[in-house]
Structure 1
Amino acid sequence: MLKKTEGIVLSAIKYKETSLIVRIFTRELGLKSYIINGIRSQGKKSKAALFQPMTLLELVVYEKESSSLQRISEAKISHPFRLIPFDFSRSGMAMFMAEVTGKAIYDNYQNEWLYDFLSESLHRLDQNTSDIKHFPLAYLVKQAQFLGFGPDEADEYLQESRSLPFATEEIPLVKSYLEALLSDGFRCSSTHGIRIRRLLLDYLLEFYSEQLDNPSPWKSIGILRQLMP
């Protein structure tokens, strides 16, 4: 059955000599894996670019309930980014978003509110008026709420983890920063320094690993820490 949907590419891996297997979080159908044959053959490089992580797509797909690998009939970019592909900091953050979301959801997981949040986050990241200093932290805090395990209060964040990597004198700073992120999201204008931001980033990723019961390392964290202004 053919269905129309919006989708956000989370990952693409090479399959055999010319094909790709792509994981796409679709708004209407949830997280699906699609096999795209011949997309990497000579003369089709421009089409392969459609499936870069975090690309926003309009799709017509074949939906077969009995199949773990679906197929795509039509795909086109729904919103071409102006900054993300050409700004190393923004593209690094987009890769980080793809990794976090890819670990947090599972096959066929469907959540229109989460999809809309991801789409809105990408649009915001692509604006030159956005302050990206707090972006990855705001993203983690807000996405955790859409996933159902994000606390509403800063104290709850600090109470739920098995370990706190902060010195005693840093905890009030971390708490006030979390309060700003929870209340203001991407509009956060906190003046906390790079050390507190990096410590909280590491802490939030550990929090995600505990909640998702996924101890595998975060591949993009090293690059992201270097990109944080």
Structure 2
Amino acid sequence: MLIKTRGIVLNYLKYRETSIIARIYTEQRGVQSYIVNGVRRAKPPGRIALFQPFTLLDLVAYVSPRGGLTRLSEFRCAYPFRTIPYDIRKSSVLLFLSEVVSRSVREEEPNPELFAFLHDSLLTYDAQTEQHENFALLFLLHLAGYLGFGPESGREITEQVAFATDVNQASTARPTVLRFQEFEHHFGELLHQPAQPTIPNGRVRRELLGILLRYYQLHVEGLGDIRSLDVLSEVLSE
């Protein structure tokens, strides 16, 4: 059986000499893994680029009644990004967010609202030419709502993180009470006044991302460390 569906690439693994196993969030069937043959050959060039994280695809995929690993019959880029591949900040943000989504979204069933959020957010981000420095924070705050633990206030985030004792935290010192109050204020702005945040600089923005990731670790089992955060921190450094 074949189905046509839109998909958002999460990641891929090399498979044999020229193929990959691509993990894709599909509109019709949730998270699915597909064998894609021959995309790592030298010719035709560029096909492996279609499976970079968060690429938007139109797919024709095989469906097995027993579930499990199947193959793609056809695939093509649904929307070539116009700004993201040429902006190191944007591409680093997407690498980071794709890792969070890949570890957080696991259901092998359709979720039209979540798919629309991911799809439309990527299109919006690609179209933005300015004032997109808070995109990662806003994206993660909204994603938490679709995953079932969306905060209603900044205090909800900071209190849970401040009192958590079972999260694998970085070796840096725990923020002071005054710092948590500052974080609470900024998260509150992002939640309720996203067009008018007062985050002063990249350093504070990186700290907010760290706090928000700890919040995710409390709610997403096995989230672990997000390796691309270090890359993003370097790119967003002052």
Normalising by the residue count of structure 2, what TM-score does the alignment of the two structures yield?
0.88
Structure 2 unaligned runs (5+)? 166-172
Matched residue type, 2:187:
L
* 8 Å CA contact retained: 2:84, 2:126: yes
Q: Residue 177 of structure 1 aligns with which residue?
A: 186
The answer to whether the Cα contact below 8 Å between 2:56 and 2:78 also exists between their aligned partners in 1 is: yes
Aligned residue for 1:45, secondary structure, equals: coil
| Deviation larger for 122-131 or 195-204 | 122-131
Q: Cα offset for 1:195?
A: 3.1
- 1:170-216 Cα deviation digits (max 9, x unpaired): 2332112101111244x453233333222211111111122112252
Instruction: Indicate which of 209, 213, 227 corresponds to 1:219.
Output: 227
- Shift in Å at residue 54 of structure 1? 0.6
Residue 105 (str. 1) matches residue 113 (str. 2):
no
Partner secondary structure for residue 190 of structure 1: coil
Q: Secondary structure at the match of 2:46?
A: helix
| 1:116-135 alignment runs, 5 A limit | 116-135=116-135
Structure 1: gaps of 5 or more residues:
none
Cα separation, 2, equivalents of 1:91 and 1:188: 24
Which shows bigger deviation, 119-128 or 217-226? 119-128
1:197 maps to 205
The corresponding residue for 1:96 is: 96
Q: Which amino acid aligns with 2:185?
A: S
Distance of aligned partners of 1:118 and 1:184 in 2 relative to their CA distance in 1, 3 Å threshold:
farther
The separation in 1 between residues aligned to 2:223 and 2:59, in whole angstroms, is 33
Q: Partner residue of 1:53? A: 53
Whether contact under 8 Å (1:165, 1:199) holds in the other structure is no
Match of 2:175 in 1: 166
CA 1:166–1:95: 2 relative to 1, 3 Å: same
Return the alpha-carbon distance in structure 2 between the equivalents of residues 137 and 92 of structure 1.
14
Q: Which moved more, 1:168-177 or 1:218-227?
A: 168-177
Distance 2:226 2:141 in 1: 17
| Kept in 2: contact 1:177–1:192 (CA 8 A) | no
Deviates more, 1:192-201 or 1:18-27: 192-201
* Partner SS, residue 114 of structure 1: helix
**Structure 2 CA distance, aligned partners of 1:112 and 1:5?**
12
How many residue pairs get matched? 228
- Cα separation, 1, equivalents of 2:48 and 2:199: 41
In structure 2, the CA distance between the partners of 1:188 and 1:143, relative to structure 1 (3 Å rule), is: farther
Tell me how far apart the structure 2 counterparts of residues 119 and 15 of structure 1 sit (CA, whole Å).
27
Deviations 1:79-116 (A, max 9, x none): 11001111111111111111000000115143221111
**Amino acid of the residue matched to residue 60 of structure 2?**
V
Aligned to 1:206: 214
Question: Structure 1 counterpart of 2:179, which letter?
Answer: E
| Rounded Cα–Cα distance in structure 1 between residues aligned with 2:32 and 2:222 | 20
Counterpart Cα distance in 1 of 2:177 and 2:185: 14
Pairwise CA RMSD: 1.9
Dislocated runs of 4+, deviation >4 Å: none
Report percent identity of matched pairs. 35
Listed one character per residue, the Cα deviations across residues 53-89 of structure 1 (whole Å, up to 9, x for unaligned) are 1100111111113131121111111111001111111
- Is the 1:85–1:91 contact (alpha carbons within 8 Å) kept by the matching residues of 2? yes
Q: Say whether the 8 Å CA contact 1:96–1:221 is kept in structure 2.
A: yes
C-alpha distance in 1 between matches for 2:213 and 2:154 = 16
Q: Secondary structure of 2:68's match? A: coil
Query: Cα offset for 1:141?
Result: 0.9
